[in-house]
Amino acid sequence: MTLQDQHVLITGGSSGIGLELGRQAAAAGARVSLVARDSAKLAAARAAIHAAQPAAADVVIVSADVAIEAEILAALQAAERVHGPVDVLITSAGIARPGYFEEVPVAVFERTMAVNYFGTLYPLKAVVPGMRRRGRGAVVLISSGAGLVGLFGYTPYAPSKFALRGLAEALRGELKSTGVSVTIVYPPDTDTPQLVEENLTKPVETKALTAGGGLWTAEAVARVTLAGVQRGRFAITPGFQLTALAWLHSVIAPVLNWSFDRIARKARRGAATGSP
Ligand SMILES: NC(=O)c1ccc[n+]([C@@H]2O[C@H](COP(=O)([O-])OP(=O)(O)OC[C@H]3O[C@@H](n4cnc5c(N)ncnc54)[C@H](OP(=O)(O)O)[C@@H]3O)[C@@H](O)[C@H]2O)c1
């Protein structure tokens, strides 16, 4: 599929990966809608896209909390009143609050699942029937490397991103042959405001474990994502490490756990003695 003249709606489109997806989709000729909570951030995102793409179709912005079904449904309707039915839904809204399991309140587990999982499910449930009727469309779920392997410090986040994997895999089968494609993206660490926020509560062990994965730009993650979506790819794993992980995870899990435990032990000892 091509993005030209398609209505591309992005939740979490005011920042980071979502904003970059919006910018690149607009550059490819799409009619873009962005959904997030903070209206000021949304307005700044729209201005940034128009500044970069003066010829782009008007970017629609709608404020909604994806974890509240009525709000995201109203946002979808508002965007569709301007740009018509959603052709490509990208669910990038997400939160991550790492920490040691015993120290993270249950409310954080609940909120993470509400935003990352149900905040993806609600808009999917709303757009898929219309896409199926029209015999065309694409849904794109932004998971994470933490949706492929459970990492130290990510006990609230990893399950929410694993849940997206289960949803995408099950839905892929149901939508096969309907003309509606399902894509799931597993980005590695990406330089965005979310990562800055995460680093505030990340245990030293988590920092040591994720350090080896390198740091991607939102621009690069968005480019790989949109290229994969246009080719109808199901799973998108930016970079060699996540691609290998996606293919081999179950086979190499014992070795992976051994290596992760070693890195975590070293990081903990380093933090205790003050040595790197
Ligand atoms: N950055 C990374 O290293 C990384 C790695 C792997 C996967 N990811 C995933 O990629 C996605 C985008 O992350 P990012 O790093 O680009 O984050 P980001 O820069 O913090 O952007 C997150 C976006 O989601 C919106 N959002 C958050 N909670 C929301 C809610 N309840 N309802 C509606 N919108 C909400 C935010 O706007 P408001 O706060 O105004 O609502 C913002 O637009 C997330 O799903 C994240 O888990 C990120």
**What string of pLDDT tens digits covers the 276 residues of the chain?**
899 999 999 999 999 999 999 999 999 999 999 999 999 999 999 999 999 999 898 999 999 999 999 999 999 999 999 999 999 999 999 999 999 999 999 999 999 999 999 999 999 999 999 999 999 999 999 999 999 999 999 999 999 999 999 999 999 999 999 999 999 999 999 999 999 999 999 999 999 998 877 899 999 999 999 999 999 999 999 999 899 989 998 888 888 889 999 999 999 999 888 876
> Who contacts 30 (Cβ-Cβ below 8 Å, separation ≥6)?
3, 4, 5, 6, 7, 8, 57, 88
Q: Which two tokens stand for residue 149?
A: 């392997």
Reduced to 3 states (helix: H, G, I; strand: E, B; else coil), residue 196 is helix
Tell which residue, 57, 36, 6, has the closest CA to residue 229.
Answer: 6
Measured from the Cα of 96, ligand 1's closest atom is 47
Structure tokens at 9: 């709606």
**Do 167 and 106 form a contact (C-beta atoms < 8 A)?**
no
Q: All domains of the chain, ordered by start, with CATH?
A: 7-248 (3.40.50.720)
Neighbours of 274 (CB within 10 A): 6
Q: Of these residues, 14, 33, 122, 161, which one is catalytic?
A: 161
CA atoms within 13 A on the CB side of 197: 9
214 Cβ closer than 6 Å to some ligand 1 atom: no
Could you give phi then psi for residue 99, rounded to 5 degrees? 165, 170
CA of residue 15 to ligand 1 center, whole Å: 7
Other C-beta atoms lying within 10 Å of the C-beta of residue 127: 20
Contact, 8 vs 20, CB < 8 A? no
**Is the separation of the CB atoms in 228 and 238 below 8 Å?**
no
Residue 221 CA to ligand 1 centre (angstroms): 13
Per DSSP bridges, beta strands 60-63 and 88-91 are unpaired
Angle at 16 between CA 47 and CA 83, to 5 degrees: 50
Ligand 1 neighbour 65 (Cβ under 6 A)? yes
Angle between helices 69-83 and 119-134 (to 10 degrees): 40
255 CA distance to ligand 1 centroid (A)? Answer: 31
CA of 12 to the centre of ligand 1 (A): 5
Identify the H or E element spanning 232: none
Residue identifier of the C-alpha nearest atom 45 of ligand 1? 94
157 an active-site residue? yes
Catalytic: which of 157, 160, 186, 202? 157
Residue 161 annotated to the active site: yes
Cα(36) to centroid(ligand 1), Å:
9
Q: Is 143 a catalytic site residue?
A: yes
Cβ 114 under 6 angstroms from ligand 1: no
Residue nearest to atom 32 of ligand 1 (CA): 65
CB neighbourhood size of 134 (10 A)? 13
Distance, CA of 133 to CA of 154 (rounded, Å): 39
- What's this model's pTM, rounded to 2 decimal places? 0.95
**Predicted confidence (pLDDT) per residue in 251-260, tens digit:** 888 888 899 9
pLDDT digits 0-9 by tens, 67-117: 999 999 999 999 999 999 999 999 999 999 999 999 999 999 999 999 999
Retrieve residue 264's tokens: 């975590």
For residues 68 and 87, what is the distance between their CA atoms, to the nearest angstrom? 22
* Residue 209, C-beta contacts closer than 8 angstroms, at least 6 positions apart: 151, 152, 153, 260, 263, 264, 267
